[in-house]
């Protein structure tokens, strides 16, 4: 930002701090909002908002983010599981619950999930393995005509961010991936229901990325 300063008399022994008038405050806020709007237009995918987003014509809900102006990383995933929605939901619950007795751990740097009430069919928060950041996830499960289950999922970071090294994608994928999801010789390890998914679509907030290999790094 570049702000004008009131002139200081040359005879003054030292520069004075400039008084700020209410109009100046309004000007500063207006400039910040304009820059934020311009930034979001460049960083966010076309037509996406911080609350509801569209992936190939499918409107899906996202958790709120506490980052100013919504300028935070995030990822939306839509996929169809070849299983009932009750099985998908039971599997996600089992993985989160399995952290307590060691029957399951998050392959992505051993983050910690907790069940939350953000909405949708199922929602969680995930604390990163280093204990520094918490992201929010929201899943909406819809039964399809074929007896399969459409998974609509969204993860949002809660601090200002531009790059996430695949974290928000992993936040979602690690709760419903199956043994067929492999990268670098490593595969997901389901607990109760091992199902496949098809037709996966993703859409990012900011410059978030998709990399299954990163998810299975541990």
pLDDT score at 59: 78
pLDDT score at 54: 61
pLDDT score at 76: 96
User: What is the per-residue pLDDT across 36-57, written as a single tens digit (0 to 9) for each?
Assistant: 444 443 444 433 334 455 666 6
Give the containing element (helix H, strand E) for 203: strand 197-205
Q: What is the DSSP letter of 35?
A: H
Task: Residue 26: count other Cβ atoms within 10 Å of its Cβ.
Answer: 10
- Look at the chain and count its residues: 218
pLDDT score at 53: 55
Q: How far is it, in rounded angstroms, from Cα 125 to Cα 164?
A: 16
Low-confidence ranges of the chain (pLDDT < 70): 1-58
**pTM (2 d.p.):** 0.76
CB 128 within 8 A of CB 111: yes
Looking up tokens 């199902």 gives: 195
Give the containing element (helix H, strand E) for 135: strand 134-143
Name the residue among 96, 85, 82 with its Cα closest to residue 124.
Answer: 96
């Amino acid at each position: 930002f570049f702000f004008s300063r009131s002139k200081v008399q040359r005879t003054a022994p030292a520069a004075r701090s400039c008084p700020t008038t209410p109009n100046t405050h309004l000007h500063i806020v207006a400039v910040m909002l304009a820059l934020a709007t311009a930034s979001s237009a460049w960083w966010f995918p076309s037509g996406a908002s911080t609350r509801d987003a569209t992936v190939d014509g499918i409107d899906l809900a996202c958790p709120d983010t506490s980052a100013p102006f919504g300028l935070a990383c995030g990822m939306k995933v839509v996929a169809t599981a070849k299983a009932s929605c009750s099985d998908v939901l039971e599997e996600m619950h089992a993985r989160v619950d399995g952290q307590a007795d060691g029957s399951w751990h998050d392959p992505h740097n051993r983050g910690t999930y907790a069940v939350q009430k953000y909405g949708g069919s199922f929602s969680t928060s995930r604390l990163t393995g280093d204990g520094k950041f918490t992201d929010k996830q929201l899943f909406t499960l819809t039964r399809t005509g074929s007896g399969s289950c459409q998974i609509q999922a969204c993860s949002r970071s809660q601090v200002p961010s531009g790059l996430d090294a695949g974290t928000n994608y992993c936040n979602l994928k690690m709760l419903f991936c199956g043994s067929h999801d492999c990268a670098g010789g490593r595969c997901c390890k389901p607990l109760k229901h091992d199902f496949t998914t098809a037709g996966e679509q993703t859409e990012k907030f900011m410059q978030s990325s998709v990399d299954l290999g990163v998810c299975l790094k541990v």
